[in-house]
Amino acid sequence: MADINIPSSPIRKNDSAFQIECKFALEPSLTRLFEKARSAGWDPQHIALAVAALGWELLVDQRDRVECEGCGIEH
């Protein structure tokens, strides 16, 4: 996988330019992953849905970890 560029400035929530920058940084790696999955025989629609679902699950897991910091529950 390709190296991913670091953000040009601190995280800015609700900033469309920051979101575009993040998308630009991730695109080469996701494109390679997509092509590897297609080469393995996976259907493009299933690949896209799986990537979206995994992204959502990672977001929820990260949110849960932040909410539980110091609550004595290990994830």
| pLDDT tens per residue across span 4-48 | 878 887 777 778 888 888 899 999 999 999 999 999 999 999 999
pTM over 0.75: no
| Conformation bin of residue 11: beta by default, left when phi > 0, alpha when psi is -120 to 50 | beta
The most distant pair of C-alpha atoms in the chain lies apart, rounded to whole Å, by 44
What CA–CA distance (Å, rounded) separates 32 from 37?
9
